[in-house]
A and B are shown apart, each in its own frame.
Chain A
């Protein structure tokens, strides 16, 4: 066992760090959010140029086939600048779904995603869902004429605004497993509603009202779909958790700098023991959170149940760790912490959003308990 980075991993991290330094300024972020843009387009095109979008795509699907650890390390660096969207939704989640399918449009769309010219979003969440683990869907696909019609509603489609198309989950009456469908953004029978999230990213609600779907739009159906969904959600979750680690580590830098510069009672506030202890608690929490991530990474290629347990454990631990670090960071900043004008409040909101993405602590806590102790007796 060793935790050293390979030369290639060091290169990825260095270039990500450079890019965040270049484009990650708070003012740039605030202006972008005020303009109503959910992510940084320059950063997105740079991600394509630097090969990061391809890194997330398996080799046999035409990508660079980075390991999940490579991807996690990249996401930690991007998380420092709160810049992981829409890499997670499009290049990791959707391209994993496409790569694992035998859909005829697969190669084209993977190419579009890797080049940064096209972007897909994953439309799965429905009212009442607290996690995006595979489950029967209220959105239904029914045979009609030569094809199908789709009815139902999806909410909180991450980065859904401005996506070129959606990968939509639906149930088919009479079939146990869900189907995965490709729906272009301008499809007939699709009504979209867009809005901002607390971290400044943008999401969409999709309503399908007798939307006609052709056989050629069915990415997958049948037994393999649940496992494919699990794989994609697991990879996207790793990226989410790694982004949170990056954000938490950025909070350590931001807060320790603040404690050294902010003066009250005639000295830097970092001289006060109460604040020193809060700062070191943040360090302990962040350090342990990275350990949770490494544990999950070690289980990504093994037994599926073990992976699911490790994922739930990491979601629960890192989700709560992020909230704790964010809250403490805000408190250390005093009144400035609750303004939009200091980076710490942006990190807190980013960490809050990550805690609930693809499932919240409540859902993953229940899942972990089921994994460790078996389901609750009836």
Chain B
């Protein structure tokens, strides 16, 4: 075992830091730091993607043939970590980390030529149409149908939890193309222009006042057959391949580290009984307990990145990352809100950026409770914690 970052990695980290110092616009950085929403400001993200793309770093995790880098998994980790620590905008996951890899792994040459460059530049957003009202954790029972009619598919159905559907130009959808085979074998992967007639998007009001999640209604939507990705009936396989592609993502390790740092800063700024909270034993106990858990999570991520041989299999290790990381997101954001005391109760409209110009409301208050509220979703999306545990029990122990 060699448990240290190598000299080359350290040098790489310095290089990234220098790049960020030189290139991350201060106004974008400030807005990202103050954000009250999980998704970044779309305009900022696009500006940032162009800056990254100019350096060839907008999709470092892609294969090099399509504009990615030859960085080791550890270097990619360092890159993402430094971006988070510098408060750069979050990647638009559905675009760069989901549909991009799907297209270059399984798409046609025409699809690669048409979509990959624009994803690299962040020209527009993609949304993901997987879940349905009756198919959440039980995704395989989805009902949205795509019937082949000549050179088109006629699509009918309904999707839910489609993030950013209202501002996305394109969507990638899991649809049923064959009713006569096992459910997993009858699902296909379809790219749909969100401007196509028959699509209705309804934004869903969320617990924190945002309305980023959407319902998408598809009513006789005619989709060119050339928008099918890969082979018909392989949609389920492709979607699963995607999950294996990014095994450490669900740890939210960089988010957790950054937000724990923010919690510490709030504890330094807030007082109780005339004493800084950072000097209060209860607060210190909560902070250090979380700090130790984040350390464990980080090293669990590194073990997966380094392909450590694992008695229970790599998927089991990845699953522990998801369970730990989602719980930590909740615990850390809830601590942030608690540190604010009663002031945590003020509602800040996540869309209206005007802050109260009152000395009673320091800058660090805005957005923290909103984050704590929406973080309840982290143990739900991408497979609820309970479903995760069922799967883990099966793959690790054969239960």
Contacts and interface: CB of A to CB of B under 8 A. Distances in A.
Nearest to A340: B205
Contacts of A264: 134, 136-138, 141
A127 B271 CA distance: 9
Residue among A266, A340, A341 with the highest chain B CB neighbour number at 10 A: A340
A197 B205 contact: no
Contacts, number: 134
A124 B271 CA distance: 17
A365 B282 contact: yes
B143 to A, nearest CB: 13
Interface majority SS (helix, strand, loop, mixed), chain A? mixed
A120 B358 CA distance: 24
Contact of A156 (B273, B342, B384): B342
A295 interface: no
Interface in A191-244: 193, 195-199, 203, 205
A130 B342 contact: yes
Nearest to B211: A340
A244 to B, nearest CB: 14
A353 B204 contact: no
A331 interface: yes
A18 to B, nearest CB: 29
A356 B384 contact: no
Contacts of B271: 128
Contacts of A348: 207, 373, 376
Nearest to B277: A362
A193 B360 CA distance: 11
B342 A129 contact: yes
B273 to A, nearest CB: 8
Contact of A339 (B205, B274, B343, B344): B205
Nearest to A278: B386
Contacts of B213: 335, 339
A142 interface: no
Nearest to B281: A376
A335 B373 contact: no
Nearest to B349: A196
Contacts of A107: none
Interface residues of A, number: 48
A156 B346 contact: yes
A363 interface: yes
Interface string A142-172: 0000000000010110000000000000000
Given A130-B272, A156-B345, A335-B377, A340 B206 contact: yes
Given A264-B138, A334-B136, A339-B206, A272 B376 contact: no
Nearest to A329: B376
Given A264-B137, A274-B390, A335 B131 contact: yes
A3 interface: no
Nearest to B135: A264
Contact of B282 (A197, A338, A352, A366): A366
B343 A362 contact: no
A359 B345 CA distance: 12
B93 interface: no
Contacts of A338: 206-207, 373-374, 376-377, 380
Interface in B176-222: 204-207, 209, 213
Contacts of A356: 341-342, 344-345
A292 B302 CA distance: 45
Contacts of A99: none
A327 B330 CA distance: 10
Contacts of A248: none
Given A264-B136, A331-B379, A335-B161, A362 B360 contact: no
B341 A205 contact: no
Interface string B239-271: 000000000000000000000000000000001
A260 to B, nearest CB: 16
A127 B365 CA distance: 12
Contacts of A106: none
Contacts of A263: 134
B205 A272 contact: no
Nearest to A127: B360
Interface string A4-31: 0000000000000000000000000000
A327 B272 CA distance: 26
Interface in A266-314: 266, 272, 274-275, 278
A32 interface: no
Contacts of B312: none
Nearest to A326: B376
B341 A362 contact: yes
Residue among A125, A130, A330 with the highest chain B CB neighbour number at 10 A: A130
Nearest to B360: A155
B136 A335 contact: yes
A337 interface: yes
Contact of B347 (A128, A197, A365): A197
B34 interface: no
Interface in A336-378: 337-341, 345, 348-349, 352-353, 356-357, 359-363, 365-366
Contacts of B374: 338
B160 interface: yes
A341 B213 CA distance: 12
Interface string B365-399: 00001000110110111001110011000000000
Contacts of A334: 136-137, 380, 384
Interface in B322-349: 330, 338, 341-347
A231 to B, nearest CB: 21
B25 interface: no
B283 interface: yes
A81 B329 CA distance: 30
B356 interface: yes
15 contacts: A155-B360, A198-B347, A205-B358, A264-B136, A274-B390, A330-B207, A334-B137, A337-B376, A337-B380, A339-B204, A339-B207, A348-B376, A352-B345, A360-B342, A362-B283
Given A156-B343, A197-B345, A353-B345, 15 more contacts: A153-B360, A193-B358, A195-B347, A197-B346, A205-B360, A263-B134, A264-B137, A331-B376, A335-B131, A335-B160, A338-B374, A338-B376, A339-B204, A348-B373, A362-B283
Would you list the 5 A-B pairs with minimal beta carbon distance, nearest first?
Answer: A340-B205, A264-B138, A130-B341, A345-B207, A196-B347
